[in-house]
Amino acid sequence: MLQNVRGTYDILDDEYAKFTYVNDLFSHFMKLYGYKMIKTPVIEDTAVFKKDNDTSDMVTKEMFTFSINGKDSLTLRPEGTAGVIRSYIQHKMYAQEAPVKLAYIEEMFRYERPQKGRQRQFNQLGIEVLGEKSAMIDAEVIALGYTFLRTLGINDIEVHINTLGNNVSRARYIEALKDYFRPHSDELCADCKMRLEKNPLRILDCKVDHELEVIQKAPTIKEYLDEEASAYFNDVLKYLDALEIPYTIDEHMVRGLDYYTDTVFEVISTNKEAGSQSTIFGGGRYDNLVKEMGGPEMSGIGFAIGEERLIMAIEQAQAFPDLAIVPDVYIIDLSDSDPYTLKVAEMLRRNGFSVMVNYYKRSLKSQFKSVDRYKAKYTIIIGEDEIKEDKVNIKDNMTKVQEVVKSEDLVSYLDQKLGGNEDE
């Protein structure tokens, strides 16, 4: 039997309803905070994601890269930021009034070892704010993600935050890390030995070595921040305090991608069931990326929420509402498939009522079973008499009251009964 590819999965039925619920709230939040939705292609030139000297696992080990005609190197999008920046530059969005606020709901592809909360194809809800650097924006971006999670009923979360400083501070810190790690290079894994000269920040993020004492005692950036970088970070924290967003400063957090500068953050689930894949979302500021990708010198900041992990966290908090879709009406057709049934169904749908129809000859008993299974609010019964007299037999499934209504009065009848369908 043909099967889905390892690390991918089908989103079915009830599960799909959870994605729709989350996506709808995300779209609502995007309106509240003034973001415009963007959709970029799933495939990009590999150069969109891969820069010279990249050291992140995502770029060096996890990309689905392929060539179609032996010439072009193409890659399935492993993350959203780089594609959005490519589009921002290509469409000269930097000429618009800053900041340009963009949001996306998209599939990402990473060749990782599949496990709970870690797939090879997964979905992200992401945002990027481009063209302006302000500590207010950093705080607002974190507040948006935090409030979104709280609104979904996820309360067991912690915001972890750090700064990677401006370019000057970070260069000093990187030299200090090299000096610190060189005498300990024997203790490090093979990857970290290579990272030492290329990008020692990555050593702090190593999945293999992270428990080594030499890493835990490594210098933090705090001592290397210049006045500007330190004031910027303190401003971000000041705004978070004002917004009453609790956070923990994690002085060794560098995040898994190479493009970050200044503020970086992650939101972690503290629910015991979350397991090792507990980071629900992460992001940070990137001062150099737009320029590196061929655009003008423009700062940006954003985050991406792992939607599968988000859904797991809502499940763990038991915070999903009842998402079952209940039709307003189920039509039982006792005629010989007369067009009248379809006509009544279409008339109701055109007036905003959700309608299920029986399409083929079945016993009354089996059609009533379908009404129960779909939990329809009303049952309409159409037989030869109803067709002749242009009426229907309608039953309120809650009160069990049954009435005969002329088809021309049916919409106003249901409007009245269902409160004008205000909840639709």
Where along the sequence are the contacts to ligand HAM (CB under 6 A)? 79-81, 110, 112, 117-119, 122, 124, 126, 128, 256-257, 279-284, 302-304, 306, 308-309
Cβ at position 173, least distance to ligand HAM in Å: 20
DSSP secondary-structure letter at 26?
A: H
Cβ-based nearer residue to ligand HAM, 304 or 355? 304
Q: How far is the CB of 159 from ligand HAM (least distance, A)?
A: 13
Distance of closest approach, residue 140 Cβ to ligand HAM, in angstroms: 14
Q: Which of 324, 320, 283, 240 is nearest to 104 (CA)?
A: 283
Q: Is 45 helix (H, G, I), strand (E, B) or coil?
A: strand
Judged by DSSP in three states, 10 sits in coil
Which CB, 200 or 283, lies closer to ligand HAM? 283
Q: Which is nearer to ligand HAM, 195 or 255 (CB)?
A: 255
In the bound state, the residue with its beta carbon closest to ligand HAM is: 306
Give the Cα separation of 335 and 344 in Å (integer).
13
Q: Which is nearer to ligand HAM, 200 or 282 (CB)?
A: 282
What is the Cα–Cα distance from 251 to 233, expressed in whole angstroms? 12
Taking the complex as a whole, how short is the minimal distance between the CB of residue 259 and ligand HAM, in angstroms?
Answer: 8
Q: How far is the CB of 127 from ligand HAM (least distance, A)?
A: 7
Q: β-pairing, 378-382 with 329-333? A: parallel
To the nearest 10°, the Cα dihedral for 241, 246, 249, 250? -160
Nearer to ligand HAM, 308 or 328 (CB): 308
Residue 395 and residue 381 in contact, taking contact as beta carbons nearer than 8 Å: yes
* Nearest distance in Å: CB 290, ligand HAM: 12
| Residues forming a β-bridge with 330 | 356, 379
DSSP for 311-373 reads: HHHHHHTT---------SEEEEE-SSS-HHHHHHHHHHHHTT--EEE--S---HHHHHHHHHH
Name the minimum Å distance from CB 320 to ligand HAM: 18
